[in-house]
Amino acid sequence: MTAEKPKLLEAEGIKQSFVDGAKTVEILHGISLALDRGELVALAGPSGSGKSTLLAILGGLVLPRSGTVRIDGVDMITLRAHHLSRLRREKIGFVIQGLGLLPAMTVLDNIALPLIPSGGAERADRERLNTLLERLEISKLASTRIDKLSGGERQRVAIARALVLDPALLLLDEPTASLDKANAERVLALLTELRQSASNGQSENRPGILMATHDPRILNSDAVDRVLELREGRLV
């Protein structure tokens, strides 16, 4: 009997709250979900429903009050800080709502940020970087400062940075929120292409993509495999 391979992402019973003065406010009430490689899942819900918080927990950036989050079978909650950081770096790419780019740095420098703690970009890395830039149609902007780019271009830079280490799980928070139709479609097409093909052509290495969004253009798109609806901290 062969053991079942664990899913890429498995979250069980995630609960989160924050303290507001004397009160404790519950944001997430026991969320459980799963995601596999090659899946493109949208996490829908109105503002304030806890989407960003859930993504932060799934991305290992914030610890939940209770629950487990497993990436390829490894429970992130129980990991020590150093190992958690390594897991995040190796397996998870994150694009936050504000994009989190350093405006005074160039496109290439921003994208290469994840590479620095491990010694910077080697020659092989640089070839991959160039491929990535071409794929995202930002090659010509490599030496341009972030503060000189348009919203759509910045979004693509943020996605490129999240992809630079070939993550297994890609988490995006409102990737099309401030984009026009054309750019939003571009991003969606890119994500679709990503989840369909891996950088080395092997299907087991296709990333799983989880997007928090309330953009109907994405929610109604055929590219999305599933839509999870989050309402008042619960999945409906």
Binding mask 72-91 for another protein (x = CB under 8 A): ---------xx--xx-xx--
3-state class (DSSP) for residue 54: helix
Nearer to another protein, 38 or 167 (CB): 167
Task: Count Cα neighbours of 190 within 13 Å in the Cβ-side half-sphere.
Answer: 26
Please give the structure tokens belonging to residue 189.
């097409």
Q: How many whole angstroms separate alpha carbon 14 and alpha carbon 43?
A: 15
Q: Is 48 in the site for another protein (CB under 8 A)?
A: no
How many positions of this chain bind another protein (CB under 8 A)? 37
Q: List, in order, residues 6 or more apart from 106 with CB less than 8 Å away.
A: 142, 143, 144, 145, 146
Answer for which of 62, 75, 131, 231 binds another protein (CB under 8 A) is 62
Cβ-based neighbour number of residue 26 at 10 Å: 14
Tell me which stretch binds another protein (CB under 8 A): 67-75, 108-116, 132-140, 187-195. Answer: 108-116
Query: Residue 159: phi, psi to the nearest 5?
Result: -65, -45
Residue with tokens 């939940």: 64
Residue with tokens 């991959």: 128
Nearer to another protein, 2 or 47 (CB): 47
Answer for which of 31, 40, 56, 138 binds another protein (CB under 8 A) is 56
Q: Is 52 in the site for another protein (CB under 8 A)?
A: yes
> What residues between 176 and 235 interact with another protein by CB under 8 A?
none
Answer for which of 113, 198, 219, 223 binds another protein (CB under 8 A) is 113
> What residues between 13 and 32 interact with another protein by CB under 8 A?
none
With 0-12 / 13-18 / 19 or more C-beta atoms within 10 angstroms meaning exposed / middle / buried, residue 126 is middle
Q: Is 143 in the site for another protein (CB under 8 A)?
A: yes
Q: List, in order, residues 6 or more apart from 128 with CB less than 8 Å away.
A: 164, 199
3-state class (DSSP) for residue 43: strand
Q: How many whole angstroms separate alpha carbon 129 and alpha carbon 80?
A: 30
Nearest-approach distance from CB 112 to another protein, in angstroms: 5
Answer for which of 8, 101, 163, 228 binds another protein (CB under 8 A) is 101
Q: Is 51 in the site for another protein (CB under 8 A)?
A: no
Nearest-approach distance from CB 91 to another protein, in angstroms: 10
Contacts with another protein, residue ranges (CB under 8 A): 52, 55-56, 61-62, 81-82, 85-86, 88-89, 94, 96-98, 100-102, 104-106, 108-109, 112-121, 143, 161, 165, 173
